Chain A
Amino acid sequence: MIATRFSTLSANARQAYEFALAGAIGAVFGLFFYVELINTSSIWLRDALAGALIGGAIGFALNSAGPLRDGAWLTLARATTWGACAGMIGGAIGLVIGEFILGGFQGGLIGRAVSWSVLGLGIGVSQGVAYRSREKLIFGLIGGGLGGFVGGWLFEALRQALGNRTDLGQGIGIALLGAGLGLGLALVEQALRRVWVQVINGRQEGRSYLLGRGVSTLGLDEQATVGLFGDPAIVRKHAEIAYANGQYTFRAIDGNARSRVNDFTVGDSHALKDGDVIELGGTRLIFRSRG
């Protein structure tokens, strides 16, 4: 049990780390596209396009981190389309409002920090809205707002310290904004999830999947709730976890495939409780349920 708890903790840390880096990489790419591609003299149009590129890139990166590790291309396409579109809208609105705010402050450290914070808020909100999740919205706000504030502050501080050199400060600043967003969104998931399974070994080690109220499928299928790839002993429709009357129940669908819970072969079905270890082929998952 101690070993399990330890691995959960490190898996959580790793997930947060990955999300933060994904956000940072997305933000840096977005800024790069803006700087290299956008060439218009109208400040507001330029701002809207810049916001759309930065927000879109962050939205894309944050939503691609998980599916990319799984190698689930269909899921990747679906998730990133939504995430990127929402991020584009949120970023564009956030940057235009931020520009207004920076004008109000007439520049300066605090002005830059607050205006960038608004850009982060815009992208954070968009990720919450895209998934119709109030929790994601709130943590997106916190992560984006804080990340943007620190990033903007650092940008202005570096610009002033380096004799008006904008590239370095802005590059690092935007990476911090993206990292803040990624971290915020990862922490929300970890703090607020109720029922989920987490992969213990194999290629997807550490990945966790939220289980809803209904039937969640496990298997090699791209459409599966818990898509498990890279284990040759797992079949397309391997097993399912169904919810009914306050109880999650594990069922093996394919009788020929190896399915075990807590080292016992499951015949028809097995009522799951927190900490149960599910074994599909050679892949082990832990079932977690809170409250």
Chain B
Amino acid sequence: MWTVALATLLVLQAPATTPADQAPKVVITQPDESKFPEITVYFELRKPDGTFIRDAKQSEFKLMEDGQERPILGFDSPVTLVTKPTTIVLVLDRSGSMLQHGKITALKRAVGSFLDDLPQGSRVAVIAFGSQIRVACPFTTDIEEVRSSVDRITPGGATRYFDAVGEALKLLGDESGRRAVLAMTDGLDTDSKRPVEDVVAAAQRLGVPVHTLGLGEGDEIDTESLNKLAEGTRGQSYRAKDAEGLKAIYQELADRLGSTYSLQYQTDRKVPDGTLRPIKLFYAEAKEVGESAVFIRGMVVPAPGWSRLFLVLVVSLSALAALPSFWKNTQSGKSAKHLMENGR
């Protein structure tokens, strides 16, 4: 009896498994509440083989905020003619060890081809770190300027990877729209003042994904921390053994940045009230729902129209303030009498 049931179950499941293998999952990379009450959600459709679906339609999506469906007001897919510019900070390792095995040349070449593949209009800044962390190139849309500033980087010094990522996040703090940090290193972080958890928290606050790239083999790299940083920020952790691998990764990243969808919806919060709104994004063919949460800032809520309540509060507080004098006056009748009797 059980065997039959099991066999039936297997048979029933068998045809479903094949397309499910190809079924993409929805990955929300970044919710953005800066234009409250309009929320922008950036996401991608990632297939199990690592490629992306770029031509999904708005009608195939459904968005829920805190269990309630919200209408999608705007939608941009990667194939839409108007590309949404992306703001990217490249964090590049220029520690002394980059001199070995021609790693610095490989990095410059990989970044060069990455810049060629980027969607047009992308804004890029470069942070190079050794013992010191400096902005090698401030935000610009001029790709040639970025390229030449990357070419000018010379290696030397220790590795302050997490501090450098922290600086990159600080740069992105003033930017809006689709943002990402691509942070590359070839060794163990030796000199950072900030722990990785601190950097993850900062990235989560901004809603910025940090993609981490480790160049090198074995325990030259702190794989665990790089994974933690990427996973905690909805980014991806990559690992390259050599120049070719590095180039392939940067290409994939450029590809990924060109595969991002965005949609807008209006939150059901009428005022920014400092609450966390869970979001679920359903795609018709996906086996995995995209889940995220957007935090709507608002420590003190600007909720207008409470004049009546305000009056009630002020009147009751004033009444409380007047209470002791009132009580005193009713008492003073007695005490005056008392004083008279005692003959002051």
Contact = CB atoms under 8 A, between A and B. Distances in A.
Interface of A: 14, 17-18, 21-22, 24-25, 28-29, 31-32, 34-36, 38-39, 41, 43, 46-47, 50-51, 54, 95, 98-99, 102-104, 106-108, 111-112, 115-116, 119, 159, 164, 166-168, 170-172, 174-175, 205
B272 interface: yes
Contacts of B317: 21, 24-25, 28, 175
B302 interface: yes
A32 B300 contact: no
Given A18-B321, A107-B275, A38 B302 contact: yes
A28 B313 contact: yes
Given A159-B273, A168-B309, A36 B304 contact: yes
Given A25-B321, A29-B314, A103 B297 contact: yes
B301 interface: yes
A66 to B, nearest CB: 13
A171 B313 contact: yes
Contacts of A107: 274-276, 295
A47 B302 contact: no
B318 interface: yes
Interface majority SS (helix, strand, loop, mixed), chain A: helix
A102 B299 contact: yes
Given A25-B318, A104-B201, A166-B273, A98 B313 contact: no
Contact of A166 (B303, B307, B314): B303
A160 to B, nearest CB: 9
Contacts of A50: 300, 302
B295 A171 contact: no
A144 to B, nearest CB: 15
Contact of A108 (B36, B276, B300, B310): B276
Contacts of A34: 300, 302
Contacts of A166: 271, 273, 301, 303
Given A21-B317, A175-B313, A35 B302 contact: yes
Contacts of A167: 303, 305-306, 309
19 contacts: A18-B324, A21-B317, A24-B317, A25-B314, A35-B306, A36-B304, A41-B36, A51-B300, A98-B299, A102-B274, A102-B299, A104-B201, A106-B293, A107-B295, A164-B273, A170-B301, A171-B306, A171-B310, A172-B313
Nearest 5 pairs of A and B residues by beta carbon: A167-B306, A166-B301, A21-B321, A107-B276, A166-B303
B297 A43 contact: yes
B102 interface: no
Contacts, number: 97
Contacts of B313: 28, 171-172, 175
A54 B301 CA distance: 13
Contacts of A171: 306, 309-310, 313
A194 B318 CA distance: 32
Most-contacted residue by chain B among A34, A38, A43, A174 (CB, 10 A): A43
Interface in B312-333: 313-314, 317-318, 320-321, 324, 328
Given A24-B317, A104-B201, A107-B275, A95 B310 contact: no
Contacts of A25: 314, 317-318, 321
Contacts of B195: none
Contacts of A14: 324
B57 interface: no
Given A43-B298, A104-B205, 9 more contacts: A24-B317, A25-B314, A28-B317, A50-B300, A99-B297, A108-B276, A112-B274, A166-B301, A171-B306
Nearest to A156: B274
- Determine the interface band of chain B, counting residues with CB < 8 A from chain A: 20 to 34
B201 A43 contact: no
Contacts of B321: 18, 21-22, 25
Interface in B265-305: 269, 271-276, 293, 295, 297-305
Contact of B310 (A18, A32, A39, A46): A32
Most-contacted residue by chain B among A18, A28, A95 (CB, 10 A): A28
A54 B297 CA distance: 18
Interface in B235-287: 269, 271-276
Nearest to A30: B300
B314 to A, nearest CB: 6
Contact of A116 (B293, B299, B304, B305): B299
Nearest to B304: A35
B329 to A, nearest CB: 12
B297 A102 contact: yes
Contact of A28 (B302, B305, B310, B324): B310
Contacts of B274: 102, 107, 111-112, 115
Contacts of B328: 205
Given A21-B321, A28-B314, A106 B299 contact: no
A263 to B, nearest CB: 11
A107 B36 CA distance: 16
A168 B310 CA distance: 9
Contacts of B324: 14, 17-18
Contacts of B276: 106-108
Nearest to B35: A41
A43 B272 contact: yes
Nearest to A18: B321
Given A18-B321, A25-B317, A167-B309, A115 B299 contact: yes
A63 B13 CA distance: 75
